[in-house]
Amino acid sequence: MTGIGPDSECFRNLIADSEPGFENVIRCVFGIQHHEIQTYQTLLERPGSTVEELAVVLERDRLNINCSLSTLREKGFADRVRRLLDDGGHIYQYSEKPVPEAMKLMHETLDKWTAYVYACIDELSEDEGPSSQPSTPPFSVGESFTVETWPDCVFPLARDKY
């Protein structure tokens, strides 16, 4: 299951960068790839686009666009609306989450992750090293972070615990 959250290398690079850009942050926090970010940016410019329209603009095949849109929808960055055609049938139109909503989602996700990291730090014991991790993270696994994406430098024992 793919979750939301920084992987170890991405997390280290993000912290080391004195001025990380939007793409670096969204890639690290949500695991969204460059081509998916391009799709999101195109949706910002062309809300209500179909897969076919996006494929033409981005010069990628429809399957690739569908995969990008699925990821964006899964992560909360795009919406899909079914539109009935006059001649019968239907098409799906895709729209982006507006940047302020995307930023809010990023803030909320980082806040949840930070709260969990603080809880891990608070449970450290000077004599024994890391003690047991909090019984449950402040988010459901899969909704925010999967154990596989938690940075080793922050909680190395978490993988064994969950």
Domain boundaries, the chain: 1-31+98-162, 39-97
Q: What percent of the chain stands above pLDDT 70?
A: 71
The residue among 44 and 135 whose pLDDT is bigger is: 44
pLDDT of residue 105 exceeding 60, the answer is: yes
pLDDT of residue 58 exceeding 50, the answer is: yes
14 near 6, Cβ under 8 Å?
Answer: yes
Task: Please tell me the least confidently modeled range out of 31-40, 51-60, 77-86, 101-110.
Answer: 101-110
The fold of 39-97 is Arc Repressor Mutant, subunit A (1.10.10)
Q: What is the pLDDT of residue 155?
A: 38
d(CA 111, CA 117): 10
Task: Please tell me the least confidently modeled range out of 6-20, 22-36, 99-113.
Answer: 6-20
Q: What is the pLDDT of residue 159?
A: 38
